[in-house]
Amino acid sequence: MIKKAIKYFPLVALGQSVAKEFREAEGEKIPFYLHRRALGSIILLVSGFLAIHFGIQIDESILTQLTDNLQAAITAGMALWGIVLQVIGTIKRKQNVQ
């Protein structure tokens, strides 16, 4: 089962959905490990373990700058997400009225 799924890994790694291709080729439902979220989690875990094993050294000044910028980026991202939700809600409301 895993052997025939290996040929789909490059598509998943590129962020493409392989559900349709897998269903057409194999005639089965796509296994959980070929979903983009599952592969992304696996890549995240492997890269985290490699970073811990080989040791990434970060200066205190870099860490301080990173946390300051991260807080600003999260705040800006939340504001943008709120705007997107408002726009989507407005568009859907206008579509439902008509």
pLDDT tens, 35-45? 777 777 888 89
Over the range 68-79, which residues count as b (16 or more CB within 10 Å of their CB) and which as e? eeeeeeeeeeee
Q: For tokens 């989507």, name the residue.
A: 88
Q: For tokens 């946390």, name the residue.
A: 67
Contact 42, 68 (CB under 8 A): no
Domain extent at residue 94: 57-98
Using CA atoms, how far apart are residues 7 and 4, in angstroms rounded to an integer?
Answer: 6
> How many independent structural domains does the chain possess?
2
Whether the pLDDT of residue 12 is over 80: the answer is no
Instruction: Kindly state whether residues 44 and 72 are assigned to the same domain.
Output: no
Whether the pLDDT of residue 80 is over 90: the answer is yes
- pLDDT of amino acid 1: 59
Give the model's confidence band at 67: pLDDT under 50 very low, under 70 low, under 90 confident, else very high. confident
Residue predicted with more confidence, 31 or 91: 91
Instruction: Kindly state whether residues 68 and 29 are assigned to the same domain.
Output: no
Instruction: Kindly state whether residues 1 and 26 are assigned to the same domain.
Output: yes
Length of the chain: 98
